[in-house]
Each structure stands twice: as structure tokens, then as C-alpha cells.
A = this chain, B = another copy of it.
Amino acid sequence: MKKIILLLSLSIFAFSCIQKQERIITSKKLSKEEKIDSTNIKTLFNSVLVEGESYEWLRDLTQNIGGRLSGSKEAAKAVIWGEKLMKSVGLDSVWLQPVMVPHWVRGEKEVANYSLDGKKKNVPICALGFSVATSKKGVSAEIIEVKSLEEAKALGEKMKGKIVFFNRPFDNTLINTFAAYGGCVGQRVRGAAVCGEFGAKGVIVRSMTNGVDDYPHTGTMSYGDLPKEKYIPTAAISSRAANILSADLKTNPKLTFYFKQNCETLPDAPSFNVIGQITGSETPENIMVVGGHLDSWDLAEGAHDDGTGIVQSLEVAALFKKNNIKPKNTLRVVFFMNEENGTRGAKKYAELAKLNKENHIGGLESDAGGHTPRGFSIDANIANTKLLQSWKKLLSPYGLHDIDEGGSGADISPLKGENVTLVGYRPDSQRYFDYHHTTIDTFDKVNKRELELGSASMASIIYLMDKYLYNNTPIKL
């Protein structure tokens, strides 16, 4: 047996040390109340890792309904799916909240190309949400490359009759990829508004991604207050095609670029936020929201954006039910409609909350993908921010180290107020923009354990917020 022990000694060495660490985690010095919290948090994690349901819910949503852009028949199916699913987990009440949403349709697959040295190069593009169509024949014009809105504005009249190509790449040195996105997304959202003003014929925008790939990444844009007659068509180009086009423009600065799309904005369509709740056991008039968005772009299954947020939010409530943890305040799960192009669901929800004098004390949003948990960002008053940060010792054993000031999310931020504690769930961001708004944002990119750890992370902070914000926040009616 000695030989076995010798062989094992090296390879097993690391694991015994890890097991020791797991023991250390649970034996940290905690107050009596913190020990109760620590035990309840462990219960939530154990529960989800053994009997979690969110992964199968996500499979169903992404694979049986798929892409579900606001106003589409798939979005309507997703509403029915959401309502049925909420009812199945035994919430105290479930209802639909009507909201009118934009209804933009992509139409036929887009086409783009240009010729260099007599050789035609096809280019992967996709129309941006809210863009107008080109004429039926498409748009053909000289293409000028710029790296920013400022550089485009400086061109002024020189862009008249031309296509403007925004090609600012992500700053890959930013560790948080959302920061890199924030530094580039302006060209996607406002490029066509800026260039339409000066009479450009179209706008092509480098896809929002860290990598070099062949997928055009769609997303929303806005013409702002540009007069309708100045609207010009705009599309995203894949990052690899953007690199090639840029190189080709160095060889031939007078390249003629062609693209065609027949997208269209139809009249607003009726839709719904899907809402369900567990009524609070002590102060049901105080409401804590947990949610994500039910709509997605049309190109893919909307797995990481934001199927994961939806199923994690419902799993928070399901974990409370299964483990017999009764929230003191009302715990409300909201599947918001239309985050991608309009946030109409978020606005309607906040508008009605105000109208009905509902007292929201807190909210948690999951809309940054379903990857391995890293922490939360907090948008709250100073006292509550410090309170949430004091929970680090309870949360760090689960990889939740980053508990920082920051924004919460597009769907809950309209609820902002002095005594409302808003939180954004922050999973690891490295892979997120590989898939974001593309055809490959699919179910197989989601890891079951990472998704479930996210659900339990969210359930844990909701458990703590429910317990401690309860005493901390004055009731305002």
C-alpha cells in the first residue's frame, strides 16, 4: 500500500488543502446573528446546487421559444411561458402588466459587399434596431472610416453622399468588459443621428465585442430628434470584416461600399411585464423587486441576454419557497419586457408603482450574463451601501468579492430614490461580449453550475436585504 500512498500523496495533496479551506470558510468568527445568516446562505447554495431548476427553465425558453424581440410572436409566447412558469413555482400571486412596446422588424437577411481589385468581398452585417431600411436596391457609396463621434462630426459636409464607417474597437486593457463596451457603444447608438444630420447615405458600425469574430452584433440605435427625412440606414459589421475593410481602405481609400436591408418600425404593439410575488410575512406593503428582461434580440436564443437573468430571478423566489424562508417584505419577481429597445416595461412598471403609491425598498437585477459569480454593484444611500458592503464576509466564500458602488440595471433604475437600495448582480464579464446580441448567444454557452451559483448569490443578497433593510428603511407611503 505504501506505493499507492506515495502515488496519491502528490496528486491528492492539493485537494486536502482545498478541503481544509472549505472548512476554514465555515469557521470564520461570526456573531450569533451572522452565524444564522451564514447557515441560511449555505442552505440556499446547497439547495440550488442539488435541486436547482433554472437550467431546465432556460433550456425551455431558449430552445422552444428562442429569440423574442419586443412585439414579435415569440415575445408573446414568452409572456405566456413566463406566466405559466411563475404559477408553477407556487408564488402567492401572478399577473400580467400591460405595456405598449416598439415593434421593429428586421425583414430579409441583410447583404453587404465591396470590390477590391475586381474581386467582390461579401461582408457580414446586420441592421441595428430602429434603423430604417435602405432603398430596395440598397445603398452604394464611397466609405469613410472614423474612430469616434467627434471625428465624424469634424468631417461635417465632407461625409455628404458617403457611408460612414465607425471602427473604434474595444479597449481590451479594461478588465471589466462592460467598461470597454461603455467606451464604444456611443458610435452604435448615435452614429446614424450624427451622420444623418450631415447628409451621409448610411452608417456601418464595428460590432461591440472584445474579440475578432465573424458575427455582426446587433443592438439598439436612436435617431434622436433628427427630422425623419434625414434618417439614414445603419448596420453593424463583424469585427473581423471591420479589420479587413479598414486594411483595404488603406490600399484603396476610394472604396465603394454597398449594403441592403429592409427592416421597418411598425406601430407599437401590446405586450406585458410578467409579475409574481411572495407576500411579505411582516410588512407586505414594502416591496423588494428581483428581475431581468424577458425580451431579447431576434438573432439568437437570448441565453445570456437575458434568459439567465429571468430564470435566476424566478429561482430566487423558488429557493425561498423550497427552503421555507419567508420574506418579511413582499418579494416580487418581474420579467421586464422591452429592455433591448425602449425599456418600456421598466418605465411602465415604475410609473404604475408611483401611481399606486407602492413602497419599493429595494431591487436586484440580473442582466450581465450567466457566468460565474463575482459580486454586486450597489446604487443606494451611503448607509445602505455600507450595510451591503459589511456582508462581504458572508458572501466571499462563494466568490462574491466585488461589492462596490455602481449602477444597478436598466430595468430597475427607474425605481431609484433616496431610500431605495438598488443592486446589480455582477457575474464574470470576460466571455459576455463574445455572444452579446449575436446568433451564438445560445443555451450551450451557459454552464449549469455558474447559472445556479448566480441564482443562489442573488437569493443570498435578497435574503440579507429583506432582513436588514427592513429595519433600516423608513416606510414612505
Whether A1 lies near B225 (C-beta < 8 A) is yes
Whether A22 lies near B179 (C-beta < 8 A) is yes
A10 at the interface (CB under 8 A from B): yes
Whether B211 lies near A10 (C-beta < 8 A) is no
Chain B nearest CB: distance from A409 CB in Å?
7
Given A173-B50, A174-B22, answer yes or no on A431-B450 (Cβ-Cβ < 8 Å). yes
Residue from the list B18, B225, B377, B447 in contact with A17, Cβ < 8 A: B377
Given A1-B225, A173-B45, A178-B14, answer yes or no on A450-B424 (Cβ-Cβ < 8 Å). no
Residues in B with CB closer than 8 Å to A46 are 173
A393 at the interface (CB under 8 A from B): no
A19 at the interface (CB under 8 A from B): yes
A156 at the interface (CB under 8 A from B): no
Whether A182 lies near B21 (C-beta < 8 A) is no
Which chain A residues in 1-56 approach chain B with CB under 8 Å? 1-4, 7-8, 10-22, 24, 45-46, 49-50
Whether A45 lies near B178 (C-beta < 8 A) is no
Q: In the bound complex, what is the Cα–Cα distance between A4 and B193 (angstroms)? A: 9
Residues in B with CB closer than 8 Å to A448 are 211
Q: How large is the interface on A (under 10, 10 to 19, 20 to 34, 35 or more residues)?
A: 35 or more
Q: Which residues of A contact B (CB under 8 A)?
A: 1-4, 7-8, 10-22, 24, 45-46, 49-50, 172-179, 181-183, 185-186, 189-190, 193, 210-211, 220, 222, 224-225, 343, 346, 371-372, 374, 377, 379, 396-399, 401, 404-410, 413-414, 424, 428, 430-431, 434, 447-450, 453
With A7-B220, A372-B372 given, can you name 17 additional A-B contacts, CB distance below 8 Å?
A: A2-B224, A4-B189, A4-B190, A4-B193, A7-B222, A8-B189, A11-B185, A14-B182, A15-B407, A16-B182, A18-B182, A18-B377, A18-B406, A21-B377, A49-B172, A396-B401, A434-B447
